[in-house]
Amino acid sequence: MNILTDHVDLDGHDQLAALMASNRNPPIGDTLEFALVELERGRVVFEGSPSRRVFNPIGSVHGGYAATLLDSACGCAVHSSLPPGQGFTTLELKVSYHRALTDTSGPVRAEGKIISIGRRVGFSEARLIDAQGRLCASATSTLLIFPLRAADG
């Protein structure tokens, strides 16, 4: 399952809407148990409940869990504004950790928004909030925007 190849004729927003309507997740969402729950052009929200499966050796949620949700939120915020035939990749992700996550923090919500977008580069930001409404992590991202090649048939 690949939202880009399944719906190459749709713009980024409509690709993500089709993904949500299908109740499917990309593999990373299944692996880390998070999903896209809100969508509008230039803004997305992912939600997940961290479990002991994502703990680090010191007994808290690994920072990579938060970084993955924030990267997904930043990237999909930009993706939601792309025309058909355009893709993106993260060039830079800056994450700040404000509060440790535990298996009782969830559900957590990562809200991503576009800061600005051009023909070749997008800038976005995201905030990860726990179930009590506390800021746990934040991120800014720079994303490269590029044309997708047609699949060789």
pLDDT in tens, 68-107: 999 999 999 999 999 999 999 999 999 999 999 999 998 9
Tell me how far apart the alpha carbons of residues 36 and 89 are, in angstroms, rounded to a whole number: 18
Residue at 153 is within a domain: no
Closest CA to 20 of 1, 39, 2: 39
Number of domains in the chain: 1
The answer to whether residue 152 sits within a structural domain is no
Pairing of strands 86-97, 135-147: antiparallel
**pTM, whole model, 2 decimals?**
0.92
Which residues form the domain of 31? 3-147
Cis geometry, peptide bond prior to residue 147 (ω within 30 degrees of 0): no
Residues above pLDDT 70, as percent of the chain? 93
